[in-house]
Structure 1
Amino acid sequence: MEEEEGGALWTLVVGTLVFLITYLTDLVPEAFSLPAYIVAYLLLGYCVLREAAENILKRQPFDENFLMAVATIGAFAIGDYPEAVAVMLFSRVGEALEERAVNRSRKQVAAAIDMRPDVIHRLMEDGSTVEVPARDAVIGDVAVVRVGDRIPLDGVVVSGDSLLDTSALTGEPVPVACHEGSEVMSGSINTTGVLHVKVTKPLAESMVTKILESVEKAAARKPKIDRFITRFSRIYTPAVVAIAAATAIIPSLVTGQWHYWIYTALTFLVISCPCALVLSVPLSFFAGIGAASKQGILFKGGIAVEQLKNIGAVVFDKTGTITKGNFVVHEVRPADGRREEDVFRLCASVEQASNHPIARSVVEASEQRGLTLGTPSKVEEIAGHGLKAIVEGHDVLCGNQKLMDRHQLALPSLEAAEYGAELFIAVDGQYAGRIVISDTLKEDAVDAIKAISSLGITTAMLTGDSQQAADYIASKTGIDDVRAKLLPQDKVRQLDELRKQYGSVMFVGDGINDAPVLAGADVGAAMNSGADAAVEAADVVFMHSKVSAVPKALHLSKETMKIAKQNVVFALGVKGLVMVAGFAGFASMWGAVFADSGVAALCVLNSVRMLYNK
């Protein structure tokens, strides 16, 4: 691939230099100008000529390659060599920039999401550990996973207790407790205690490898967009060729002036040369992309802008995309006879001893309330359950229902929290209350979803979170279609189902786990606050990480396509007038130049106005 890119760049640079030196200087003698133009033309236009020839053999000739080949060969036939080479140059420069950006993005995505381990620490019979390549690990090996290390391979915990950060796999920030007998997935980060993990799947079958393969397969399945200029040329090309052929043959048969009418037909082909068309559409996209960047929306190419106008569904990840991805105290509900402030202060005093995200959110909330916390003693953190400590002479328990059951504390009949994690508190062996901690919606989420729906576009959500949490967010925002408890590869399958149901899909996410589905979506969009892999995999990046950027991007796409069509209609209208004038004998090659260069300049002005629209 790199060799192919290097060869393409070499021919582009050399061809451009030969053309510019021949056209702009006197370094090339006039006798050698034609050979020099031919060399430049072949270097710059070889790919176009080859594609045109291959399509003719496939009996599908009418695309932009055939159009440029016929027009430029016609230009050579009547001696307008610079025009022929310039068309090929404009085409090659645009393609080179686009291909370079796409290839760079794909390579960085693969590198960023590759969480496959190089080695594992194999536990030997004598208790020592040996570092071995991960690919050499076999089912039954026991790997030692230290605090801060990733789980190297899928397996089962045979010794130890810990909390695992699975956000790279599920996108959800709440750590998952594991203990002896728990199944663990490679790619998770061990956060609190040393684990001994018995390998159940080799590297080739583990989760980290599956995620990487999912990205590659999703990118391969991504629909290929039929470019606007290609669609248009299927009509324009045969029409131009037919008119030129008729011009050369029919009048010649009547008048016998073959030389005059063949020359006129070739001039017509030069006038019809697609230079202005090749420029007018990209100019519109460049202006649209520039206008979007002023609003914090980064499009990585014109294809994404074009495809957005055809979107039938916008699909969101939940955590970090629709929600802020943080934890806040949503509700404090004390038991009968207890004061809310007292219960919350005792709980926050105990939670000072933990680094768990939920514990930190409780402490932060206590600081915001201006509470004075006590100093906990005899603190015991029970992995996957919660904390036990003494505060101001009181035995305090703070944790989930498992902790309450462990200490045989009966809980009153309580309605389950509609959304979020429940933290129960017991003081001196008596239930004292509960705190509900939840992620929060982004401020603009509800209005953004409403704006998308008003465009007639379906909204959906794919998340690794629970069905209850997903349904709650959907009910608050008005999202139409909800699918929960999904792993990365599940999201790709669900995306394909949504595409079949609603048409082209746009996916908006922010995590490493979203990279496969971002790569597989018709248009992938990432929040800039998310993981590097998501940002690199996306076609669009929302720099301010706001949900409201989604309807703005859809609007900008429609405006860009409208201006692109205006430019095409204008370019063709002027070109048509010049063609008619040419047949009537009133248009010279200067008229043909205006039909290309002049129209292109006016299209620039029409496109640039997007940059000043508010």
Structure 2
Amino acid sequence: MLFLAGLVVQLLDGPTWLSWPLYLACYVIGGWEPAWAGLRALREKTLDVDLLMVAAAIGAASIGQVMDGGLLIVIFATSGALEALATARTEDSVRGLLDLAPDTAVRVTEGGEEETVPAADLVVGDEVLVRPGEQVPADGTVVAGASEVDQATVTGEPLPVDKAVGDEVFAGTFNGTGMLRVQVDRRAEDSVVARIAALVEQASQTKARTQLFIEKVEQRYSIGMVVATLALFVIPLWWGEPLQESLLRAMTFMIVASPCAVVLATMPPLLAAIANAGRHGVLVKSAVVMEQLGATTRVAFDKTGTLTRGTPELADVRVLPGSALNSGQLLRYVAAVEHPSEHPLGAAIVRAARAQGLELPPVDDFLAKPGRGVSARIDGSAIQVGSPATLLDPGSAEDAERWEVVDGIQARGHTAVVVLWERRPVGVLGITDQVRGEAESAVAAVAELTGAGPVLVTGDNHATAATLAGQVGIMDVRAELLPDDKVTVVRELQAQGQRVAVVGDGINDAPALAAAHTGIAMGGAGSDLTLQTADAIVVRDDLTTIPAVIALSRRAHRVVVANLAIAGTFIAVLALWDVLGTLPLPLGVAGHEGSTVIVGLNGLRMLRPAAWKRAAVSAGR
């Protein structure tokens, strides 16, 4: 604001006693932090571009070019503030992850009494009660009861998982309609949720600090510029040149050789590409991320909520031999029984029946048995709907043919639901997760763009993962992965020299997103932690924007290289002119500012709609 106020006064030919204080206040407010950081680096015997830019700004002010110095200060102060803000928000989201687990738990004492205690006070061996709709307070094993548990936050599975005695449950997951009695197996600080938080924090801290291209040579450039400036001041002075002329030559050199044009050569194309991507539904969090996206050589996709919508749908209706029903009647009756149910699978069946225009008959004696299914009576006939393990006998010869149908449905990655009519199996329904319509084309575009097939990383079972992979064209499938397993996969790919981008949406994906070179989150249903951890967010959940933004990043990189060549040429010519001859200060400033304008305008080409259109075309959209 101070810089803009000073600029307005200057453009209106206002008095210098008004514009200069505004500019100098801009120097102080925006420059003290990079100056302090530069001095601390200098104390450690390193010279970074922060101190160099502050010195250039002061040098510009000392010879009357206070506006140029103010522009340098604004660029660096804004960049540093945005980086600090992003870091702070990520740290806050990691701390907030631990709030997923409930604060209290109902512990059962040895005398059978119930007491409410802080979840952090639970120890291994304690038994806790988890009522319907509550969160599981600790990792443990079910010792009594049955229910279905939504554990998408940990494993990424799209559908609730039936839990019975002997099954493992995780802290922070949501219990369904039944009551569970759970024996604690891990302390709060050792739970899977706590490990996810630790993995995200560790990956964020150990992830190599990525830098823009110009920052990679800042140390040598900074030292060279300082040495050259001092030499231009001291050597002519030693030979008897007047102090004022020697100082003017040195300050002119500092102005023309300052990396202002180089900074603008790098930043405008990347920032313009960020703005362009934002208009098309991709939020890229920084210029560094935009540069990193173009270097991607392998993409890893999560399944649930990423390649799929995370919403179950009816995929198959099979009428078993001997049944008097046809598929429409079977669906109609099952939907009627499931209508009062709260289970997501039941909701999928009801949606499918309504989509076909089926009228649901009234039901009597509805009963839901957690972990076992539902039952009701229609026109006096008893109908049961549940899992194959509950309603079919694995060792029965009579059920052998029915198990073949169930196995065929499950082999395609579907969840099988068995229907009994008066205790006789009459049908099997297959339910699956909805694949995004653009998933196949996005996967193909990513493979063509990177030259390597994407990887599927999921916590779901192998059969379901393999089926989905076959539908979208992914050959490399890694299934049944916990969050730390996904990090291991990312590390393995990186060890092979790959620059990995991970695309996910759930809390269980956050550690992998943090460990990857670039983390991309699906914004529609993405968790807060995932959105904060990710480097880029697909706001509209359109997978085809991922290859497009990678292609856009590569186009921006080419513009950056061209800009650096332009800026470097101007700096070299003006600096040599100043060293070998006498470069008039106004001409030096004009050349310096001219190069800045040229590279700035060239970079702004990335704002044009045509830039995204070309990127989308090159990405196969």
TM-score interval for Structure 1 and Structure 2 normalised by the shorter chain: 0.7 to 0.9
Select 1:136's aligned residue among 121, 125, 144: 121
Select 1:298's aligned residue among 279, 283, 302: 283
Give the corresponding residue for 1:10: none
2:393–2:399 Cα contact (<8 Å) kept: no
TM score, norm. by length of structure 2: 0.86
Deviation per residue, 1:295-324 (Å, 9 max, x gap): 111111111101112212111110110012
Give the corresponding residue for 2:425: 431
Select 1:491's aligned residue among 480, 486, 489: 486
Deviation per residue, 1:379-432 (Å, 9 max, x gap): 343333323333334333322221233596614033522121112223334332
1:64–1:229 Cα contact (<8 Å) kept: no
**2:418 counterpart letter in structure 1:** F
2:135–2:175 Cα contact (<8 Å) kept: yes
**1:449 counterpart letter in structure 2:** V
Give the corresponding residue for 1:545: 541
Deviation per residue, 1:167-213 (Å, 9 max, x gap): 11112121112233333211111110222323232212222322222
| Separation (CA, whole Å) in 2 of partners of 1:589 and 1:336 | 95
| Separation (CA, whole Å) in 1 of partners of 2:514 and 2:531 | 11
Q: Does 210-219 or 261-270 show the bigger shift?
A: 261-270
Tell me the SS of whatever aligns to 1:187. coil
| Separation (CA, whole Å) in 1 of partners of 2:349 and 2:30 | 65
2:35–2:54 Cα contact (<8 Å) kept: yes
2:408 aligned with 1:416, yes or no? yes
Residue 465 of structure 1 and its aligned partner are, at CA, apart by 0.1
Give the corresponding residue for 1:382: 369
Give the corresponding residue for 2:331: 344
Give the corresponding residue for 1:360: 347
| Separation (CA, whole Å) in 2 of partners of 1:249 and 1:29 | 32
The number of aligned residues is 596
- The 3 A distance-change label for structure 1 pair 520 and 602 is same
| Separation (CA, whole Å) in 1 of partners of 2:36 and 2:341 | 66
Tell me the SS of whatever aligns to 1:541. strand
- The 3 A distance-change label for structure 1 pair 383 and 74 is same
Give the corresponding residue for 2:309: 324
2:178–2:370 Cα contact (<8 Å) kept: no
2:105–2:119 Cα contact (<8 Å) kept: yes
Select 1:567's aligned residue among 557, 563, 568: 563
5 Å-filtered alignment, 1:201-600, equals 201-234=186-219, 236-241=221-226, 244=229, 247=232, 257=241, 259=243, 260=245, 263-336=248-321, 338=323, 339-405=326-392, 410-412=399-401, 413-414=404-405, 416-417=408-409, 418-455=412-449, 456-530=451-525, 531-583=527-579, 587-600=583-596
**2:358 counterpart letter in structure 1:** L
1:49–1:65 Cα contact (<8 Å) kept: yes
Residue 103 of structure 1 and its aligned partner are, at CA, apart by 1.6
2:504–2:521 Cα contact (<8 Å) kept: yes
Q: Does 326-335 or 537-546 show the bigger shift?
A: 326-335
| Separation (CA, whole Å) in 1 of partners of 2:57 and 2:605 | 32
Q: Does 343-352 or 45-54 show the bigger shift?
A: 45-54
1:44–1:88 Cα contact (<8 Å) kept: yes
Tell me the SS of whatever aligns to 1:320. helix
**1:444 counterpart letter in structure 2:** E
**2:107 counterpart letter in structure 1:** R
- The 3 A distance-change label for structure 1 pair 483 and 113 is farther
2:593 aligned with 1:601, yes or no? no
| Separation (CA, whole Å) in 1 of partners of 2:580 and 2:440 | 61
**2:399 counterpart letter in structure 1:** A
| Separation (CA, whole Å) in 2 of partners of 1:429 and 1:37 | 85
| Separation (CA, whole Å) in 2 of partners of 1:381 and 1:495 | 42
| Separation (CA, whole Å) in 2 of partners of 1:242 and 1:524 | 41
Deviation per residue, 1:435-459 (Å, 9 max, x gap): 2111122111111111111122441
**1:451 counterpart letter in structure 2:** A
Q: Does 264-273 or 448-457 show the bigger shift?
A: 264-273
2:93–2:528 Cα contact (<8 Å) kept: no
- The 3 A distance-change label for structure 1 pair 37 and 341 is closer
1:19–1:85 Cα contact (<8 Å) kept: no
Give the corresponding residue for 2:618: none
**1:591 counterpart letter in structure 2:** L
| Separation (CA, whole Å) in 2 of partners of 1:437 and 1:80 | 70
Tell me the SS of whatever aligns to 2:278. helix
Q: Which ranges of structure 2 fall in alignment gaps of 5 or more residues?
A: 614-621
2:163–2:371 Cα contact (<8 Å) kept: yes
Deviation per residue, 1:524-559 (Å, 9 max, x gap): 111111223322221111111011111011012112
2:108–2:126 Cα contact (<8 Å) kept: yes
State the percentage of identical aligned residues: 30
- The 3 A distance-change label for structure 1 pair 611 and 404 is same
| Separation (CA, whole Å) in 1 of partners of 2:452 and 2:99 | 34
Give the corresponding residue for 2:140: 155
TM score, norm. by length of structure 1: 0.87
| Separation (CA, whole Å) in 2 of partners of 1:411 and 1:343 | 21
Residue 120 of structure 1 and its aligned partner are, at CA, apart by 1.5
**2:160 counterpart letter in structure 1:** P
Residue 134 of structure 1 and its aligned partner are, at CA, apart by 1.9
**2:434 counterpart letter in structure 1:** T
Residue 142 of structure 1 and its aligned partner are, at CA, apart by 2.6
Residue 42 of structure 1 and its aligned partner are, at CA, apart by 6.6
**1:598 counterpart letter in structure 2:** G
| Separation (CA, whole Å) in 2 of partners of 1:48 and 1:372 | 70
Residue 87 of structure 1 and its aligned partner are, at CA, apart by 2.9
Residue 293 of structure 1 and its aligned partner are, at CA, apart by 0.8
**1:298 counterpart letter in structure 2:** L
1:211–1:489 Cα contact (<8 Å) kept: yes
- The 3 A distance-change label for structure 1 pair 168 and 611 is same
Tell me the SS of whatever aligns to 1:201. coil
Residue 151 of structure 1 and its aligned partner are, at CA, apart by 0.5
1:404–1:410 Cα contact (<8 Å) kept: no
Residue 133 of structure 1 and its aligned partner are, at CA, apart by 1.8
Deviation per residue, 1:138-183 (Å, 9 max, x gap): 2333322222210111223333221111111112121112233333
Give the corresponding residue for 2:617: none
Deviation per residue, 1:456-514 (Å, 9 max, x gap): 24411211100111122222222242211112222222222222124221111111222
**2:203 counterpart letter in structure 1:** A
- The 3 A distance-change label for structure 1 pair 384 and 251 is same
**2:447 counterpart letter in structure 1:** S
| Separation (CA, whole Å) in 2 of partners of 1:294 and 1:39 | 35
